[in-house]
Structure 1
Amino acid sequence: MTEMFPDHVELEVEKRRGRILIVDDQPLMIRVIHQIFADEHELFMATSGEQALEFCQNNLPDLVLLDVVMPGMDGLETCRRLKKDERTASIPVIFVTGQTTEEEENECWDAGCVDFVNKPVNARTLLKRVRSHLTLKFQSDLLRRLAMLDGLTKLANRRYFDQFLSQEWRRCKRAGKPLSLVLLDIDHFKSYNDSLGHQQGDDSLRMVASAIARKAHRPADLAARYGGEEFAVILPETDLPGAVNIGEQIEQSVRELQIEHPSSPVCNVLTVSIGVASMVPVESSNPELLIKVADQHLYLAKNRGRGQVCAEDNTSS
């Protein structure tokens, strides 16, 4: 989520190469399906429901082909667990099954699948159904991405920032992992706009956004436009020293843009003030507290002269 949204989004989603996870305890069946899709998509294999769930936590596929009858956790339970997890709930699941009774078909639908095919697999039928559901998935992903977009900077917008922060707060609380937040504000941006004009101001916002996105580079990180000339970076599973390091990199990167700011009392180029906070989420706290602490540190950074990073009352230039 760290990359800026492209200026032009490819709408011909049918041409996109998908990531398909094949889950079956029979190696022969995996080979059969692999031969059908090897030239069209990127394929991954799992031989149990447990393996499939673990894979999906670390490498989100675009679609899952899932055997129903497997030892241990069967396909129905695997599908239910995928649908209960907000990170994997939108992944379409197609059951590959030899079971064809009405009751068993209803169990597949109730578990959350989008379709199913019977064994022995008809290659043409499977190809067409996978293509159809991948196209729907890619179209849905595209609409979701556009809804997250800040039109000017191409970073995530405030609405998605709020949603993502709540999601990662819950996830880090379950895992007992730290969640960090970097808040930053462009110094004396009103005077910059007043002296150089709003068009120049918009251009500079885009450049700063690009610098932020380049430093928040992990797939799990989120860079967002928080409002006006304010930006935010969510850093899951990152402790305070790690978050401060990212903040310092961003501060330096913005300076290195060398955007002239003739009316700034801080520096002759555009600078940012940054506040950093980190917490291990617990029951007695909430995401709003993390924002509050980061905002307090941002205020301290401004109060101490701007153009610097502040965290836990310690300032680094």
Structure 2
Amino acid sequence: MPLLIWSGRWILRHPYRLARSCWIRSKELFMQHWLKGSQRKPRLLLVDDQRINILTLHELFREECDIFMAMTGEQALETCRKLSPDLILLDVHMEGLDGHEVCRRLKKDPKIRDIPVIFVTAQGTEEDEVLGLELGAVDFIVKPINPIIVRARVNTHLTLKYQSDMLRSLAQLDGLTGVANRRKFDEELERTWRRSLREKTELSIIMIDIDYFKRYNDHYGHLQGDTCLRSVAGALATTVNRPYDLLARYGGEEFVCLLPNTDLNGAVVVAERMQAGVQALQLEHSGSEIGQLLTVSMGVSAMMANAMDRPQVLMEAADKQLYQAKQAGRARIRFGS
């Protein structure tokens, strides 16, 4: 038996048993980290046309991951589009679409190309690895699989995926208020517009502006102004309940809310809840010409996307309604198409 170092002492032990104790602890630490950050188990997609291979991998990861399975390349791609797994273990040699072709198609699809792929193959030559890496795979596992190696590599790439997702998410947040930033809003508006065009559904936008905010900053100071922005953002965010709705800081003291599959009446209801939420904050604003409390003005617009226009048309319509709300005395909602 090989000689191993363990806790500063030389111990003769079977290497599998020692390694097993190491990955059990590593697995526990990894899962604690993942669940704390994402509030869910990582999603693992197993793709193999041999049921026994899928069952073997399923047994390894069933406790710490949500497992999804596919036995053809077509099923794998469909599952990716529906569920967006965090990692794919993809067999190279399959009937129909083989693993290489599945990976090619995966990386060409903007919606799923960031899902990391680990190839599982019985051929571990340098040529195979080079081809796989050129196609976009992040790692290789050679059959027959070694449970310790498989676990270590899967945990490594799930951790990297989690960190990448976190960085991407942070890049789309406004650093002061914690809601989405302008960049995230612009990207989501484009996607939602295309979806509206495809599904023939209405979408709505609410533009929100804090009344007399420059006076607020001048009177209370910029630090208190930042606190005010965070409070208003929090109040607005509590009224946006559907997972596909989006509240963003548009710039300065302006916020914007994107409501897919929502007509004008529905958007006005959301705006009214937003206005009530801000009023409930009871934030003092002695520089306001409306009263002694902080208020907001809102412009609401809705339309169905069409091939002749761009989403900026909807933005301009909501901005026009916001301008009319401010011209009419502020602290009110104006709406129209």
Aligned in 2, Cα 1:238/1:89: closer, same or farther, shift over 3 Å? Answer: farther
Would you say 1:302 and 2:326 are equivalent positions?
Answer: yes
When the two structures are superposed, what TM-score results if normalisation uses the length of structure 2?
0.77
Q: 1:216 to 1:242 in 2, by over 3 A?
A: same
Matched, 1:203 2:221: no
Letter paired with 1:15: H
Query: Contact 2:31/2:64 (CA < 8 Å) preserved in 1?
Result: no
- 1:28: which partner in 2? 52
Q: SS where residue 209 of structure 2 aligns?
A: strand
Q: 1:125 aligns with which of 149, 172, 179?
A: 149
Structure 2 partner of 1:141: 165
Q: Is the CA contact (8 Å cut-off) linking 1:13 and 1:139 kept in structure 2?
A: no
Superposed, 1:60-75 pairs within 5 Å as: 60-70=84-94, 73-75=97-99
1:227 is displaced (CA, Å) by 0.7
Equivalent residue letter for 1:301 = A
User: Structure 1 residues 19, 259: closer, same or farther in 2, change over 3 A?
Assistant: same
Residue of structure 2 in register with 1:157 after alignment: 181
1:9 paired residue number? none
1:4 is matched with none
Q: Which residue of 2 aligns with 1:89?
A: 113
Corresponding residue number in structure 2 for 1:182? 206
Structure 1 residue 24 displacement after superposition: 3.5
Counterparts of 1:207-218 in structure 2, within 5 Å, are: 207-218=231-242
Q: Residue by residue, what CA displacement relative to the aligned partner does 1:116-169 show, whole Å, maximum 9, x if unpaired?
A: 323332222221221222222222222222322322112222233223323433
1:186, distance to aligned residue in structure 2 (A): 0.9
Check conservation: 1:179, 1:239, Cα contact below 8 A.
Answer: yes
User: 2:33 maps to which residue?
Assistant: 15
Distance in 1 of aligned mates of 2:248 and 2:231 = 14
CA distance in 2, matches of 1:54, 1:177: 24
- In the TM superposition, what is the alpha-carbon distance from 1:295 to its structure 2 partner? 0.8
Tell me the CA shift for residue 228 of structure 1: 0.7
Q: CA 1:70–1:154 in 2, change beyond 3 Å: closer, same or farther?
A: same
Is contact 1:14–1:135 with CA below 8 Å preserved after alignment? Answer: no
Gaps of 5+ in 1: 1-11
User: Structure 1 117/261 Cα, relative in aligned 2: closer, same or farther at 3 Å?
Assistant: same
Kindly provide the amino acid, as one letter, of the partner of residue 34 in structure 2. R
**Does the residue aligned with 2:238 lie in a helix, a strand or coil?**
helix
Q: Per-residue deviation at 1:99? A: 5.2
Identity %: 51
Instruction: Work out whether residues 183 and 275 of structure 1, in 8 Å CA contact, stay in contact via their aligned partners in 2.
Output: yes
Give me the CA root mean square deviation: 2.9
Could you tell me which of 231, 235, 260 is aligned with 2:284? 260
- Is the Cα–Cα contact under 8 Å of residues 93 and 115 in structure 1 kept in the other structure? yes
Q: Is the 8 A contact 1:169 1:287 kept in 2?
A: yes
Structure 2 CA distance for partners of 1:47 and 1:178, relative to 1, 3 Å: farther
* Structure 1 residues 291 and 195: CA distance shift in structure 2, 3 A: same
Q: Report the Cα distance in structure 2 between the residues aligned to 1:212 and 1:274, rounded to whole angstroms.
A: 12
With CA pairs under 8 Å and 6+ residues apart, which has the higher RCO, 1 or 2?
Answer: 1
Report the 3-state secondary structure (helix = DSSP H, G, I; strand = E; otherwise coil) of the residue aligned with 1:215.
coil
1:232 — aligned with what?
A: 256
* Contact 2:244/2:260 (<8 A) preserved: yes
Structure 2: distance between partners of 1:252 and 1:50? 49
Deviation of 1:194 (Å): 2.6
Equivalent-residue separation in structure 1 for 2:173 and 2:66 (angstroms): 27
Deviates more, 1:290-299 or 1:218-227: 218-227
> What TM-score, normalized to structure 1?
0.81
Say if 1:19 and 1:41, in contact at 8 Å, map to a contact too.
yes
Give 1:226 shift.
0.7
Closer, same or farther in 2 for the Cα pair 1:26/1:214, shift >3 Å?
Answer: farther
8 Å contact 1:13–1:135 — kept in the other structure?
no
Distance 1:91 1:198, change over 3 A: same
What is the deviation of 1:106? 5.4
1:249-277 per-position Cα deviation (integer Å, ceiling 9, x unaligned)? 22221111221223333344222222223
Q: Tell me, in whole angstroms, the C-alpha distance in 2 between the residues paired with 1:213 and 1:306.
A: 21
CA distance in 1, matches of 2:335, 2:100: 47
